[in-house]
Amino acid sequence: MLKGKKIILGITGSIAAYKAAFLTRLLIRQGAEVKIVITPCGKEFITPVTLATLSKNTVLCDFFSHDDGAWNSHIDLGIWADVMLIAPASANTIAKMANGIADNLLLTTYLSAKCPVVVAPAMDLDMFRHPATAKNLVTLQSFGNFIIEPTSGELASGLDGKGRMEEPEEITSWLIEFFKKKSRFSGKKILITAGPTFEKIDPVRFIGNHSSGKMGYALAKTFADQGAYVNLVSGPVSIGLPNPAVKIHPVVSADDMNQAASTLFPDMDIAIFAAAVADYKPSSQSESKIKRSGNDLLLNLIPNEDIAAKLGRLRSENQILVGFALESDDAVNNASRKLADKNLDLIVLNRINDPGAGFNVDTNRILIIGKDNIHKNFELKSKDNVAKDIVDEIFNLMINGSYA
Ligand code: PMT
């Protein structure tokens, strides 16, 4: 159901614009309030009269009314909406969105929208598979926009292939599911550790590792997108805030991370340990830069506290704890052992020698292991999509009380 949801429907110049009439009707039937913004080219394919009648709202196209000069505020529209859906989205509009071009009301509304943006492309198959379009769609996804993939079939050109805008029924179902997911962690407090830790040797040197923080930040974004209040305890990384709703607690060393995570933990519903925490630190740190000499330099290393294991001992029955395991040899057995030793509910295994997985890449391939030896394998995907899979699995565990 979309009762009370405020939707901006953006319509661009495409044969599929006729489907926007059906889409509007379905959205209204589901209880949504729909305001339509159409591009000048969109009006060549469907008339504002039809759309205004179906949406029960004036259809906006120009920056201002030519009759009385009244201003159509794209900023107010962007603030008003719960979601902006651009369907059909032509290759031209997608390219302009990806490049910040603002030469019509739909595009200025897009650029000032505070709400999630969903794009349903519609175009000829060659335009859809052109590298420029593919790159633009990836750019939109990197902005956090959602893409509803076009389907394959007969196209306006008479050709057959991928480029048909998804059917209005499917787009409506997508939105219903989206709003359901958007609030499924609302009120839940989540702790996530992410990134590497740096263990100081002297003022200029440290022991670190290759974690970029991408996996943990993707998890933080996904949880926040689904209504959770996220505390992200992050080692030194160079990525920006994943979502304004995420509170970042920057730390440097494993001791700092331990302290921040332990303080937050008692109040958390779910804790996820995605950080690559240094297992050892130098027993002492030099306050001045260690000078080069001809002799060997021996560093004495002492163990850091295992944060996940410590919090696993302190946990309550109601909390959900999820660890990661980064393994090279005997991966599944080692990960299963960590699951049990650290008293976790789930462990996410990624392998160092698996191409495209683990440290410092944009993709990952994971196996999730639950109690009772339940194993679930996932394909190589972007870390954003891996995060969605992990969050779905945690949601199932939360709802069902067990992992199956
Ligand atoms: O940051 P990216 O570049 O995106 O890479 C992601 C990742 C590879 C770092 C991530 O997917 C991952 O696997 N994180 C855990 C890496 C790791 O240190 O694994 P481990 O097997 O050594 O540790 C097992 C678990 O105990 C982990 O949940 C770890 O966070 C936790 N741990 C380990 C040591 C320690 N002192 N404290 C901990 O909490």
Tens-level pLDDT at each residue, the chain (404 residues): 899 999 999 999 999 999 999 999 999 999 999 999 999 999 999 999 999 999 999 999 988 777 777 777 777 888 899 999 999 999 999 999 999 999 999 999 999 998 999 999 999 989 999 999 999 999 998 888 999 999 988 877 787 888 899 999 999 999 999 999 888 999 999 999 999 999 999 999 999 999 999 999 999 999 999 999 999 999 999 998 877 789 999 999 999 999 999 999 999 999 999 999 999 999 999 999 999 988 999 999 999 999 999 999 999 999 999 999 999 999 999 999 999 999 999 999 999 999 999 998 999 999 999 988 899 999 999 999 999 999 999 999 999 988 88
Rounded Cα distance, 378 and 289, in Å: 46
Closest CA to 315 of 276, 342, 339: 342
Ligand 1 centroid–CA 257 distance in Å is 12
Closest CA to 186 of 146, 153, 154, 229: 229
Kindly give the number of the ligand 1 atom that is closest to the alpha carbon of 358: 8
Kindly give the number of the ligand 1 atom that is closest to the alpha carbon of 323: 28
In short, whether 338's Cβ falls inside 6 Å of ligand 1 is: yes
pLDDT at 162: 87
pLDDT at 341: 97
Residue 88: cis peptide before it, omega within 30 degrees of 0: yes
Tokens 């920057």 correspond to 250
Residue 107 contacts residue 101 (beta carbons within 8 Å): yes
pLDDT at 254: 98
Residue 257 contacts residue 251 (beta carbons within 8 Å): yes
Residue 378 contacts residue 389 (beta carbons within 8 Å): yes
Q: Spell out the domains of the chain, with CATH numbers in brackets.
A: 6-182 (3.40.50.1950), 189-400 (3.40.50.10300)
Rounded Cα distance, 117 and 95, in Å: 15
Amino acid symbol at 57: N
In short, whether 325's Cβ falls inside 6 Å of ligand 1 is: yes
pLDDT at 268: 98
Instruction: Indicate the pTM of the whole model.
Output: 0.81
Catalytic, out of 57, 72, 92, 209: 209
Rounded Cα distance, 216 and 227, in Å: 17
The number of CA neighbours under 13 Å toward the Cβ of 71 is: 5
pLDDT at 35: 97
CB-based contacts of 80, cutoff 8 Å, min separation 6: 6, 8, 35
| Best residue for ligand 1 mutational test, from 256, 257, 270, 273 (most atoms within 8 Å of Cβ) | 273
SS3 content of the chain, % helix, strand, coil (to 5): 35, 25, 40
pLDDT at 309: 98
CA nearest ligand 1 atom 21, residue: 325
CA nearest ligand 1 atom 10, residue: 274
Closest CA to 7 of 161, 28, 343, 353: 28
Closest CA to 35 of 53, 58, 18: 58
Ligand 1 centroid–CA 231 distance in Å is 17
Is residue 57 among the annotated active site residues? Answer: no
Residue 306 contacts residue 340 (beta carbons within 8 Å): no
